[in-house]
Amino acid sequence: METTKISLSKGVFGLIKDHLKSNNKLSEYNRSKLEYELKYANIIPAKSIPENVVSINTSVQVRDTETLELLSFGLVAPSEAKIKNNKVSILSAIGLALLGYGVGDDVSWEMPEGMKTYKIEKVSGID
């Protein structure tokens, strides 16, 4: 299990915890990884989340370490997610995988198409 300690705001932490309790669609790997990350997460005020850490309302640029494909999208609240506007829910597979990690981190997550590892290349506020 990866040992990188993630940083989350109290609100995002609570949202993920609730999602874990109510979602039985997570793979066993993703569920145990998420439970572990939450157990050791650094919970801080939203305003104190470093600018280089993936959180709600951030634009993220990641690279698939296998295909080298570059993906760019905004992470938003589930109610604001619109794929056509390139805004993805923080509770989506990629959102859950990246939340709390920072630029330079490699993050592995079981996606619908199989195990993926992404390198976070850029994080910024959503315009």
pLDDT digits (tens, 9 = 90+) for 30-47: 999 999 999 999 999 999
Domains within the chain, CATH numbers bracketed: 7-125 (3.10.50.30)
The H or E element that residue 19 is part of is helix 10-22
The one-letter amino acid at 77? A
13, 56 contact by CB (below 8 A):
no
Contacts of 23 (CB under 8 A, 6+ apart): none
pLDDT digits (tens, 9 = 90+) for 112-123: 889 999 999 999
- From CA 74, how far away is CA 59, in angstroms rounded? 4
Check residue 25 and give its pLDDT.
84
